[in-house]
Amino acid sequence: MWQIPAANTALVEQVKNGTAMLADLTGGGATQVGCTGAPYHHAAIPATFPANGAYTEAIYAVSIPGVLPSACVSAYQALAACQLSGKRLMSNAEWTQTAVGTPSAVGDNGTTNCATNSPGPIDTGSRSGCVSAVGAFDMVGNVSELTPDSGASFRGGDFGNGTDAGLFTRGSLFDPTSGDSAVGFRCAR
């Protein structure tokens, strides 16, 4: 998730159009927010974007390769960030359709396979062998991904699940206003 200066309406439009790149975000004064502890070291999610989703300042969901995924996000924050970005939080069915073809968690070789046995998350899109049939990276491992079905459920498994991570791995947060360092989200148009 990215906090973008309110005055930078051109960057907000790039985000909504799906054309914003990392250089656009950093050059436009945007800051990635989420988990503040190691290994993330993101800026804290501001109080103006609370866990219950009743925001007073917009935070945007931006999918870009080469950064650690945003995590420590509540289900309500994920829903709001997707909506503010002109998208929606992927439903369970959409997530499954997008993940088809992602290799099973047969082992994490540390370079190309899905990140399922790592000490923490890795940069998004950095594992060339962890791609679905439609070209989506990191659907298995790295961080689990929230879906809005059945409360705060999540899919795919995370960096520490080993061979338990996979297309049919599913769990849930006990409270949709809580977040976890191993759980992020994915938006769809």
List per-residue pLDDT tens for the chain, 189 residues long. Answer: 999 999 999 999 999 999 999 999 999 999 999 999 888 989 999 999 999 999 999 999 999 999 999 999 999 999 999 999 999 999 999 999 999 999 887 778 889 999 999 999 999 999 999 999 999 999 999 999 999 886 778 999 999 999 899 888 988 877 889 999 999 999 999
Distance of alpha carbon 143 from alpha carbon 162, whole angstroms? 12
CA distance 1 to 46: 11
Given a contact cutoff of 8 angstroms between Cβ atoms, the answer to whether 32 and 43 are in contact is yes
**What pLDDT sits at residue 84?**
98
Q: What are the phi and psi torsion angles at 56 (to 5°)?
A: -120, -10
Q: Contact, 182 vs 155, CB < 8 A?
A: no
Burial class (CB in 10 A: 0-12, 13-18, 19+), 171: middle
CA-based nearest residue to 138, from 118, 115, 168: 115
Paired tokens of 53: 């989703």
Q: What is the pLDDT of residue 66?
A: 93
Q: Is 57 left (phi over 0), alpha (psi -120 to 50) or beta?
A: beta
Here the tokens at position 51 are 């866990």
